[in-house]
Structure 1
Amino acid sequence: MFSALSHPALRACRRLFLQNYEVNINIGVHDFEKRAEQRVLINVDLFVPLAMSTPQQDKLDEVVDYDFMRSVIAERIARGHIHLQETLCDDVARIMLEHPRVKAVRVSTEKPDVYPDCQSVGVEVFHVKDLQP
């Protein structure tokens, strides 16, 4: 499994994370999924260069605020039904990568209630800003 932390572009970065953020959202391609919300767990890792995230005065505006991650997710979910977890991951990652201090992002989503014989099914995406077209 690829570890984002080992990517050479992230050597001088701080990792901010949001783990197992549980939301109930309208997601899925099947008719039964379109009629009710599903529980989804969202994980985000933001990689911010140390030079842009090391506070000198212990002030919030010197760093990327954790609320940024939650608000991006909330805004995307508020736009309505999403068919695919891939779409949710891609949209959230793209928006977060637009932040001027964010160098890289990893976003994963999991549906824990889809199958009774496994913990969850999900999708993960990782992007580094310098490698984007």
Structure 2
Amino acid sequence: MDKIYIEGLEVQSLIGVYDWERDAKQRLLVDIVLFSDLNKPALSDNVIDTLNYAEVANAVSDVAENSTFALIEALALAMIEHIFEQFPVQKITLKLSKPDILPTAKNVAVEFTRERKE
């Protein structure tokens, strides 16, 4: 299966379990691997034949911007479900990072891999 990568996508979301986290949107980073057959666009060299990764990035950003989840696990799964609803991909790996949450850690993240249910 072929892959399209979107790495380091910065999004904003109101997320967290503590009161102080609910005051303002926080910076999150998203890494996405989209599994899809890329043979047709590779042969045609036509953008209409491939996944529009700008649209995928915008869709993920919109989910983050409009959500109010407590956990990054819940937001990550919502992003995956939205991608499956909007785009013809067979499988997704999505890593959602909350880099500014722990002062003694560079990053905290969750990663999910899900396949389309037929």
Listed one character per residue, the Cα deviations across residues 64-97 of structure 1 (whole Å, up to 9, x for unaligned) are 0111221211221232422110111101111212
What's 2:19 paired with? Answer: 31
Query: Structure 1, unaligned stretches of length 5 or more?
Result: 1-12
1:15 and 2:12 equivalent? no
Secondary structure, counterpart of 1:114 in structure 2: coil
Query: If the length of structure 1 is used for normalisation, what is the TM-score?
Result: 0.78
RMSD after superposition = 1.8
The runs of at least 4 aligned residues of structure 1 exceeding 4 Å deviation read none
Which residue identity does 2:106 align to in structure 1? Q
Of 98, 104, 109, 1:122 maps to 109
CA 1:115/1:100 → structure 2, altered by over 3 Å: closer, same or farther? Answer: closer
Q: Identity percentage over the alignment?
A: 24
State whether residues 67 and 75 of structure 2, in contact with CA within 8 Å, keep that contact through their aligned partners in structure 1.
no
Point out where structure 2 has 5 or more consecutive residues left out of the alignment: none
Is contact 1:18-1:43 (8 Å) kept? yes
Structure 2 match to 1:7? none
Give the aligned partner of residue 47 of structure 1.
35
- Counterpart Cα distance in 2 of 1:24 and 1:88: 12
